Chains A and B, each alone.
Chain A
Amino acid sequence: MSPSLFLYIASVLGAAALFMLMPKRGRDLRILGGLLGAATLGGLWLLLVPVFLLNDQGVLDTGFSDGQTPFYYVFSSIAVCAAVRVITHSRPVYAALWFVMVVTSSAGLLLTLSAEFMAFAMLIIYGGAILVTYMFVIMLATPPRSENESEDGPDYERFASEPLWASAAGFLLLAVLLSVVFQPMTKNPQAAALPDQEVINTTLADRGETAEIAALATPSGNAGEALIDEQGETVVNESGEPVTVEPLTNVERVGLDLFQSHPLAIELAGIILLLALIGAVLIAKTQIYNDDEDAEPEADSAAGEEAAAT
């Protein structure tokens, strides 16, 4: 039985579960959908762990230090479940709160990947700034409740527009993506990627950078060891003591990469932010006449008449 078949079955089941979970008219299948979804996710992992994580000797090999692997499953499950809630909840405020959950759990995922800076940046910017903005807007833009409305909010919140087709198309895309992820491609020997170490060394040498920087940028350098340059000699500082490899934090590495390799992208990002700022100001200043009540121009003219009368 081919493992990709699991993926396809799981995709179909997931689509069905999501369809049931969607808010829509007719019978409420949400509990059933929830159960089906949870079962699908759990089953998928249960089946895929032995396939992928056991090496040829039958030993579990995740590429992580021990004890980290379970966190992946925890955070991942929370993230996926929260994401499902985001798109199925009929109240925007709750959807936004569930989205905070998604952000938090994916930040946890980033922590397991030892991307600490990114994890906290995500938490602060997404979970903090952006989500607060969303909250503000949701509160600002709450329509007045009309009489014939149900307690769950207006129709457009309670009924998804195309749940079946959306789920089908989305999970078709998911199935394709997972097939790519889990299925080996035909390998082209010429296209085989160089080892990362080699790439880093050659690019740094091309840029004429010193072995010191090369060591800094090299992830495999072990902390505390003496730095050795390309001639095999120990690199010394001004006072003649051997330079040792300092352990690099995640922030330092990201910073090095950001400012060494992507200066133009930083500038562009700055310009985009500036444009967004200007745009937001402009949008905020735009005068809007309400379509429903076309009274404002008339009111103006009435005011004008009054002014003329006095």
Chain B
Amino acid sequence: MIALRDKLQPLAAPICAGAIGASFVIAMIVWMTLSIPENKVGLTVNFYDWMAFGDFRVGFSYFLDSLTMIMLGVVCGVGCLIAIYAAGYMKGDPGYWRFFTYMALFIFAMVTLVTADNLVLLFLGWEGVGVCSYLLIGYYYDKPLAVAAAKKAFIVNRIGDFGFLLGIFLCYQTYGTVEISVMLAEARENVAALGEGYTATTADLWIPFLLMIGAFGKSAQIPLYVWLPDAMAGPTPVSALVHAATMVTAGVYLIARCIPLFELSPAALPTVAVIGGCTALFAATIALCCNDLKGVFAYSTVSQLGYMFVGVGCLSIDGAVFHLFTHAFFKALLFLTAGSVMHALAGQLDIRTMGGLRHKMPVTCWLMFVGCLSLAGFPFITSGFWSKDLILGDALAYGLNGHSVYLFVTLLGVVTAFLTAFYTFRLWFTVFMGEEKFEMGDEHHHDTPETPEAEHAEGDEAHHDHGHHDEPHEMPWLPMNAPLVPLAIGAIIFGVLGYKLHWFENIITHSTADPVTASLASGHGDGHGYGHDDHGHDPHHAYLLGLDAHDFMIILSSLLAIAGIGLAAFFFWFNRALTAKIATSLSPIVKLLENKYYIDELYDYAFVQPLRRLGGLFYVVDSLVINNLIALVAWAPSMIGRGVRPARSGRLAAYSLSMVTGIAVLALLIFMAVAR
């Protein structure tokens, strides 16, 4: 049995990756051949009724439009590449099969989330990815840190899910259905009629805020972002897939999907944008002084998610989804290369111990360079640049058109863009440039005493079990480096293609995420906002200093990105001594940033400790009052039992006598009652 298990275990990865790859192919075929009915924006496929009570019906029904399909493409495509990478990364781990089981379950839940036609099914997927996230963060369950991080992620997500659930209830109460397509159609009409005769009801005002809480929890925005950096305790492929590329974007997806609901409430979208902008800047500043390799990327993820929220907040849905798309590529690339570094250094994560690794791991070095360029928004050739620019340009144009709050958001975004370029290359220069130095970590999860032959057969000569080696080395091409190449290519080319060819505008206008307000303003609104071929983002056309807002933003962010990269190169490549000196002189700020603004401590003091004390009080009440009450309940029958025990003598005569007496007395009582 054990031998069989050992033989079957390596199959977990191919099965998982193959299944995800197959679903990617199927999703793409479906997208190519999808025939949307006339006057409809998407196709609803109902498999069967899940539950039905009275008027409340929830089906296992799926909704396919272009937004769904692009999300499916991201989830399955990136998921497949990461699964292939993980096949190498997780090799030799005792929970190999467990990891891939969770991965497959996660992909299932995520696909359910993005394809669901009703909010309840969406919530099923939403909770499903939450559970998988919990399981995967706590994957190394023998590490207290990982377990604590898993619990933290789960509990913080509960807060968000609570809001989301309330939002679902309110939606049902308001619209009488939980089907998204039906609900959105009604919301669209309401938005269209917003100026003329329709005033937003209280429910209309509250629904977006409740949904927003859910989105903020899942997508790690202020104030619920604290779980995501800790979630890096999970295996790195998980960080890449769940906590960078797919799950954390579910909040963005939710808002994009339900954008008409948000348009009904005048304060909702500005709130989203401001929170997004603040989170972007806030996380970027923390990332500046973060010394944890994965931590930097975690905060940059929070920061980039902030951009996406800015995107949906200024009705630049195409920008948000575009950024979601490109971010999935370059952030997955960054995480996976970081995983390679970590792997090579046996779990070492502190970038202060690293330096000059470019000679040891050239492929990883340059792949990560591509990812860093894209994250930093290096002008013109990286996709991160174009998608970020689309968001910021739209935000600026929106701001210039009279929504002054968006000017503030744009400012936040621009500063963040500069910081992003700086901290990204701070990391890269520190790790790969300068003089060569490294310290091996203490993790030997690559040791595989059970299957050493299999490992040698699988990898090339560089692929030894380096628990016994003291030298970092390059990862093998298969299965680890090869899947990174498509990600790197995606991190480069999709930007300019997507921007110039208006892919995402087309995708969004053919989905329910098409904002009604923009369509109305552009004069193409047909009441439902569906079916534009040429998309005019008129409110997004504005001029600053004689330039179109987008062109202005291209120039500005190019300059900032190059400046940030140059500054990082100066401080962390050429002149590290000066950096240390400056850091010492700024030590209070550095300390503040290194401790992440003491937010965790603040939350601990403000929420955790009071709750803990309350729990202690309840414990006392429970142990003194409740326990004794329960003991009394148990004690009374035992006393009664002791009293009547002699009656159970086992003597037939006694039993029959008591029976006869009972019958006689009963008959007497009945007779006395009847014979009056």
Mark A residues whose CB is within 8 Å of B: 161-162, 165-166, 169-170, 172-173, 176-177, 179-180, 183, 185-186
Contact across chains for B671 and A180 when beta carbons are under 8 A apart: yes
The distance from the CB of B672 to the nearest CB of chain A, in whole angstroms, is 9
Contact across chains for B660 and A166 when beta carbons are under 8 A apart: yes
Q: Which of B104-112, B454-462, B564-572, B662-670 contacts A (4 or more CB under 8 A)?
A: B662-670
Which residues on the B side are within 8 Å of A161 (C-beta)? 651, 653, 657
**Sample of 12 further A-B pairs with CB below 8 A, known A166-B657, A177-B667, A186-B676:** A161-B653, A162-B654, A169-B657, A172-B661, A172-B668, A173-B660, A173-B663, A176-B668, A176-B671, A179-B671, A180-B671, A186-B675
Cα distance A276–B671 when bound, in Å?
37
Closest B residue to A171 using CB positions: B664
B674 proximal to A (CB < 8 A): yes
The distance from the CB of B649 to the nearest CB of chain A, in whole angstroms, is 11
The distance from the CB of A90 to the nearest CB of chain B, in whole angstroms, is 16
Which residues on the B side are within 8 Å of A177 (C-beta)? 667
The distance from the CB of A122 to the nearest CB of chain B, in whole angstroms, is 25
Cα distance A162–B657 when bound, in Å?
8
Which residues on the A side are within 8 Å of B668 (C-beta)? 172, 176
Between A and B, 10 residue pairs with Cβ closer than 8 Å are: A161-B653, A165-B661, A166-B657, A166-B660, A170-B660, A173-B664, A173-B667, A176-B667, A176-B668, A185-B674
Dominant secondary structure of chain B at its interface with chain A = helix
Contact across chains for B664 and A172 when beta carbons are under 8 A apart: yes
Which residues on the A side are within 8 Å of B676 (C-beta)? 186
Cα distance A186–B660 when bound, in Å?
27
List residues of B (640-664) whose CB comes within 8 Å of A's CBs: 651, 653-654, 657, 660-661, 663-664
Contact across chains for A183 and B657 when beta carbons are under 8 A apart: no
Dominant secondary structure of chain A at its interface with chain B = helix
Which residues on the B side are within 8 Å of A165 (C-beta)? 657, 661
The distance from the CB of A183 to the nearest CB of chain B, in whole angstroms, is 6
By the criterion of a CB under 8 Å from any partner CB, how many residues of chain B are at the interface? 15
Closest B residue to A165 using CB positions: B657
Contact across chains for A179 and B657 when beta carbons are under 8 A apart: no
The distance from the CB of B655 to the nearest CB of chain A, in whole angstroms, is 11
List residues of B (346-396) whose CB comes within 8 Å of A's CBs: none
In-complex Cβ contact of B675 among A172, A173, A179 (8 A) = A179
Cα distance A34–B668 when bound, in Å?
28
Closest B residue to A172 using CB positions: B664
* Residue of B660, B668, B676 with highest tally of chain A CB at under 10 A: B660
Cα distance A166–B661 when bound, in Å?
8
Cα distance A166–B655 when bound, in Å?
11
Give per-residue flags for B524-547: 1 if the beta carbon is below 8 A from chain A beta carbons, else 0. Answer: 000000000000000000000000
The distance from the CB of A12 to the nearest CB of chain B, in whole angstroms, is 14
Cα distance A183–B674 when bound, in Å?
11
Cα distance A290–B482 when bound, in Å?
81
Which residues on the A side are within 8 Å of B665 (C-beta)? 172
Cα distance A161–B652 when bound, in Å?
10
Closest B residue to A166 using CB positions: B657
Cα distance A172–B668 when bound, in Å?
8
* Residue of B663, B664, B671 with highest tally of chain A CB at under 10 A: B664
Give per-residue flags for B554-575: 1 if the beta carbon is below 8 A from chain A beta carbons, else 0. Answer: 0000000000000000000000
Cα distance A152–B161 when bound, in Å?
86
Which residues on the B side are within 8 Å of A162 (C-beta)? 653-654, 657
Which residues on the A side are within 8 Å of B660 (C-beta)? 166, 169-170, 173
| In the A-B complex, the 7 residue pairs with the closest CB atoms | A161-B653, A173-B664, A172-B664, A169-B661, A176-B667, A169-B660, A176-B668
Cα distance A172–B675 when bound, in Å?
16
Cα distance A171–B352 when bound, in Å?
102
List residues of B (125-143) whose CB comes within 8 Å of A's CBs: none
Contact across chains for B664 and A169 when beta carbons are under 8 A apart: yes
Which residues on the B side are within 8 Å of A169 (C-beta)? 657, 660-661, 664
The distance from the CB of A86 to the nearest CB of chain B, in whole angstroms, is 16
Cα distance A170–B675 when bound, in Å?
21
* Residue of A165, A177, A183 with highest tally of chain B CB at under 10 A: A165
The distance from the CB of B656 to the nearest CB of chain A, in whole angstroms, is 9
Which residues on the A side are within 8 Å of B663 (C-beta)? 173
Closest A residue to B654 using CB positions: A162
Contact across chains for A185 and B675 when beta carbons are under 8 A apart: yes
Which residues on the A side are within 8 Å of B675 (C-beta)? 179, 183, 185-186
Which residues on the B side are within 8 Å of A183 (C-beta)? 675
The distance from the CB of A175 to the nearest CB of chain B, in whole angstroms, is 8
The distance from the CB of A15 to the nearest CB of chain B, in whole angstroms, is 12
Which residues on the B side are within 8 Å of A166 (C-beta)? 657, 660
Which residues on the B side are within 8 Å of A180 (C-beta)? 671
Cα distance A173–B659 when bound, in Å?
12
Contact across chains for A176 and B674 when beta carbons are under 8 A apart: no
Which residues on the B side are within 8 Å of A179 (C-beta)? 671, 675
Closest A residue to B656 using CB positions: A166
Closest B residue to A170 using CB positions: B660
Cα distance A179–B674 when bound, in Å?
11
The distance from the CB of A180 to the nearest CB of chain B, in whole angstroms, is 6
Cα distance A172–B674 when bound, in Å?
17
Answer whether A170 and B664 are a contact pair too, CB < 8 Å, given A162-B653, A162-B657, A165-B657.
Answer: yes
List residues of B (460-494) whose CB comes within 8 Å of A's CBs: none
Cα distance A179–B292 when bound, in Å?
97
Which residues on the A side are within 8 Å of B664 (C-beta)? 169-170, 172-173, 176
Which residues on the B side are within 8 Å of A186 (C-beta)? 674-676
The distance from the CB of A11 to the nearest CB of chain B, in whole angstroms, is 11
Closest A residue to B663 using CB positions: A173
Give per-residue flags for B387-425: 1 if the beta carbon is below 8 A from chain A beta carbons, else 0. Answer: 000000000000000000000000000000000000000
